[in-house]
Amino acid sequence: EVQLVESGGGLVQPGGSLRLSCAASGFTFSSYDMHWVRQATGKGLEWVSAIGTAGDTYYPGSVKGRFTISRENAKNSLYLQMNSLRAGDTAVYYCARGRVDVDTSWFDPWGQGTLVTVSS
Amino acid sequence: SSELTQDPAVSVALGQTVRITCQGDSLRSYYASWYQQKPGQAPVLVIYGKNNRPSGIPDRFSGSSSGNTASLTITGAQAEDEADYYCNSRDSSGNHPQFGGGTKLTVL
């Protein structure tokens, strides 16, 4: 069974740091792009970062320079290092496996999510 | 703000057909993918590409695209289809994924 399990969420003060982890199983982790997507309470989905099979990384402007995505293929693990956290970063963070075709892309499956709360 | 626009809410009578739409310039070049999210749960992929359903997704779910608009159609909506639905595609530069704001589907 293909499965993604996130961990590492919690309460952190503004300006603080947190590292999220995502453990993958049931597929050849090294062969897939991986993503982080977040969702603030009652809000929509927001793409946060991506890492390709070659280790190339991508970020939206809202987190670029503060968040770092990485992977450790030997451990089938994905990470998100979050620095300089702000109240606006409060959300459930999901990891998701990415797929790309010529004219489309999609995320499947998704983990169950881990809650990050940035508050003093 | 999202470059993919969805109606915030749509309702459908039980057993009837409903179409959920997603508009954006990138949809002229890329097919959307669609996700169903029920309260307290992670999103689930229901449609990707031109009109592909992952294993386990009922065939009452279908996708289509025309111009700058992608559509998710549920033919014969069931009570269990009540959920939030999100479209996803690339942004206008084609470099980054982007989600629509989501549509809350109510089955009456």
| pLDDT digits 0-9 by tens, B19-30 | 999 999 999 999
Reference A108, options B99, B43, B49; nearest CA is: B43
Q: Is A104 in contact with B49 (Cβ distance < 8 A)?
A: yes
How many C-alpha atoms does B5 have within 13 Å on its Cβ side? 5
* A51, closest residue in chain B (CA to CA): B96
Residue A25 pLDDT > 70, yes or no?
A: yes
Q: How far is A69 from chain B (nearest CA, A)?
A: 15
- Chain A CB within 8 Å of residue B76 CB: no
Q: Which of residues B70 and A101 earns the better pLDDT score?
A: B70
Q: Is the pLDDT of residue A47 over 60?
A: yes
- The beta-carbon neighbor of B42 closest among A103, A105, A111 is A111
Size of interface A-B (CB pairs under 8 A): 71
For the cut 80, the answer to whether the pLDDT of residue B94 exceeds it is no
pLDDT band at A68 (very low <50, low <70, confident <90, very high): very high
Q: How many CB atoms lie within 10 A of CB A101?
A: 13
Note the pLDDT of residue B91.
81
Band (pLDDT 50/70/90 cuts) for residue B2 is: low
Confidence of residue B1 (pLDDT cuts 50, 70, 90): low
Q: What is the mean pLDDT of residues B77-92?
A: 94
Query: What percentage of chain B has pLDDT greater than the value 70?
Result: 98
- Mean pLDDT calculated for residue range A38-46: 97
Under an 8 A CB cutoff, do B30 and A103 touch?
A: yes
Contact A106 B33 (CB under 8 A): yes
Could you tell me if B60 and B51 are in contact, meaning their C-beta atoms sit under 8 angstroms apart? no
Asked if B54's CB is within 8 angstroms of A108's CB, the reply is yes
pLDDT of residue B56: 96
Closest to A108 (Cβ–Cβ): which among B29, B45, B99? B45
Q: Of A89-93, B27-31, B60-64, where does mean pLDDT reach its minimum?
A: B27-31
8 Å CB contact between A106 and B45: yes
Contact (CB<8Å) B99/A111: no
* Residues ≥6 apart with Cβ < 8 Å to A4: A22, A23, A24, A95, A96, A97, A109, A110, A111
Residue A70 has pLDDT above 90, yes or no: yes
